[in-house]
Homo-oligomer: A and B are copies of this chain.
Amino acid sequence: MSEQWLPSLVTPTPQEGFDLAVKLSRMAVKLTQPSAEVREALRGGYAHDASDLIAVSHVVATHFQTIAAANGYWRTDRG
């Protein structure tokens, strides 16, 4: 995991910030379960489990808080 995958929290738009939040939520799983094969097998399960999907959504929400703050909530877009 020595490759660079998170150079910055700054994104041009809120939507790209949201995509980054999704990415961060997956990276923590990847660092805990490094096997792509196992993760793929689990994914088949939790993508069909409502409770798990809601829990994923919560993790994304937490990361999105961080990223939104890092970007000053993209307020300059109002201009």
Interface residues of A, Cβ cutoff 8 Å to B: 4-10, 13-15, 18-19, 21-22, 24-29, 31-33, 38, 42-43, 45-66, 68-70, 73-75, 77-78
Contacts and interface: CB of A to CB of B under 8 A. Distances in A.
Contact of A9 (B8, B14, B26): B14
Contacts of A43: 50
The copy count of this chain in the complex is 6
A33 B60 CA distance: 14
Contacts of A6: 13-15, 18
A51 B35 CA distance: 17
Nearest to A38: B48
Contact of A51 (B8, B31, B55, B65): B55
